[in-house]
Structure 1
Amino acid sequence: MRYRHTQIGYVTGGVMLAALVLIYYAFMVEDGALGVFGYTMLGAFGLLAVLFSSLTVTVTDRELMFYFGPGFWTRRFALDDIVGVEVVRNSALHGWGIRYTHHGWLYNVSGLQAVEMTVRGNGQIRIGTDEPDALKQALEEATAR
């Protein structure tokens, strides 16, 4: 393995946990009980908090792989298909999670830094990271073979 890093999504997790508290109190103040819809909302936001709690990126000798939380939304790209890599800064308007932007797909849990890859057959892919230079270096070294 050439590179492996897990970025914790403090912002994403914090927003989801704050939403849990707000949903709970909103239902309790309004109805005095959560009810089915309240429990459904709490469960949905709780699940999102777990799924988007982190982003793990791995570079091996053959592929780039990344996934959210405990293995949600795993993506893999063969290193042979990566034809360009650069460090970029995302707009705050792009947000976090999985998004399609005018720069292509963005996968991010926190912050504005990212590595943009040009992937043969997939266009531009951005992976948010708090270690953009280290990820770029690992990808460049792995694809230079």
Structure 2
Amino acid sequence: MRGQNLALLPRAVLVLLFVNVLVLSVFGFLSIRIDSQTLFWSFGLLGWPRWRLAVAEIASVEVCETQWYEGKGIRFTREGMLYNAAGRGAVRITKKDGSQFRLGSAEPEVLCRHLNQIIALS
């Protein structure tokens, strides 16, 4: 009986390894792209899941930090949705309807400055 349990161990390790690789490929990094009219963000190698927001819908943008307990990935928080792949830096985006969400970024100041420039031009 004991030998059968040990035989299952390598298979379980392989399954866990596969699941971890799959999760990291989907949520391992966050890509943010901005053009003159739209903010786009997506996770992983395949760019899925992905979202978009018209720049015209953005009321304000500010640099903020995430809390350690908010974690990584796609999270519902007290401040609205959080899309984060690494680190604690983020940009809080307030929409004209009053709702907010945060995008994690390794360079939140650069992202915030760029978004504010595009908002000012539109």
TM bracket, shorter-chain basis:
0.7 to 0.9
* Alignment of structure 1 residues 45-124 onto 2, 5 Å: 45-70=20-45, 71-121=47-97, 123-124=99-100
Q: Which runs of 5+ in 1 are unaligned?
A: 1-29
Q: Over the residues paired in the alignment, what is the CA RMSD in angstroms? A: 1.7
In 1, Cα distance between equivalents of 2:26 and 2:63: 25
Q: Which runs of 5+ in 2 are unaligned?
A: none
| Runs of 4+ that moved beyond 4 A | 37-40
Deviation track 1:12-54 (CA, whole Å, cap 9, x = no partner) reads: xxxxxxxxxxxxxxxxxx532344x665443322210111221
In 2, Cα distance between equivalents of 1:98 and 1:122: 20
Letter matched to residue 113 of structure 1? G
TM-score, normalised by the number of residues in structure 1: 0.72
1:42 aligns with 2:17: yes
Change (3 A) 1:122 1:46: farther
Report the CA distance between 1:119 and its aligned residue: 1.9
In 1, Cα distance between equivalents of 2:97 and 2:52: 13
Deviation track 1:113-143 (CA, whole Å, cap 9, x = no partner) reads: 1000012347111000011111001110101
3-state secondary structure, aligned to 1:72: coil
Change (3 A) 1:122 1:97: farther
In 2, Cα distance between equivalents of 1:73 and 1:55: 10
Q: Taking every aligned residue pair, what percent have the same amino acid on both sides?
A: 30
In 2, Cα distance between equivalents of 1:40 and 1:51: 17
3-state secondary structure, aligned to 2:49: strand
TM-score, normalised by the number of residues in structure 2: 0.85
Change (3 A) 1:44 1:119: same
1:131 aligns with 2:104: no
